[in-house]
């Protein structure tokens, strides 16, 4: 699973695994980190990116789970991103937790300019 998760790191178009994403909006996101760790009887997955799409995390982690179970080869991640992931599972939302949101310090929303 950890090896497969590394295939999600980098700049990718996640449209193929983003359920219902509007065609007129970009589905390209940069994933900085997608870590998988076993802690006792639990699998902990942590993702960091410049944005997430609807059900992107649940779909991608569903694929990773099936890889961990031996149902799919590691290459299924790449195939799913290319649109060949038909039948990829969607994990339930329970256990999904947003830990933090970071904004670039140079972004100034709603502040009047002195220009």
Q: What are phi and psi of 53, to 5 degrees?
A: -105, 165
Band (pLDDT 50/70/90 cuts) for residue 114 is: low
Note the pLDDT of residue 95.
Answer: 81
Sequence-distant (6+) residues with CB within 8 A of 21 are 14, 15, 27, 53, 54
Pull the structure tokens for residue 15: 């449209």
Strands of the sheet containing 10-13, edge to edge, are 10-13, 28-39, 42-49
What's the pLDDT at 89?
87
The CA distance from 14 to 11, in Å, is 9
Q: Where are the domains of the chain?
A: 1-115
| Paired residues of 37 in beta bridges | 44
Q: Which fold has domain 1-115?
A: Alpha-Beta Plaits (3.30.70)
Question: Residue 87: what pLDDT?
Answer: 75
pLDDT per residue over 36-79, tens digit each?
999 999 899 999 999 999 999 999 999 999 999 999 999 999 99
User: Would you say how long the chain is, in residues?
Assistant: 115
Q: What is the pLDDT of residue 99?
A: 86
């Amino acid at each position: 699973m950890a090896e497969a998760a590394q295939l999600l790191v980098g700049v990718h178009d996640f449209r193929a695994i983003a359920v219902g994403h509007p065609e007129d909006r970009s589905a390209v996101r940069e994933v900085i980190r997608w870590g998988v760790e076993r802690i006792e009887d639990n699998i902990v997955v942590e993702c960091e990116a410049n944005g997430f799409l609807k059900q992107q995390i649940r779909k991608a982690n569903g694929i990773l789970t099936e890889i961990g179970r031996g149902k799919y080869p590691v290459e299924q991640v790449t195939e799913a991103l290319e649109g060949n992931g038909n039948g990829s599972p969607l994990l339930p939302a329970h256990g999904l937790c947003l830990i933090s949101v970071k904004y670039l310090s140079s972004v100034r929303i709603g502040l009047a300019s002195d220009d």
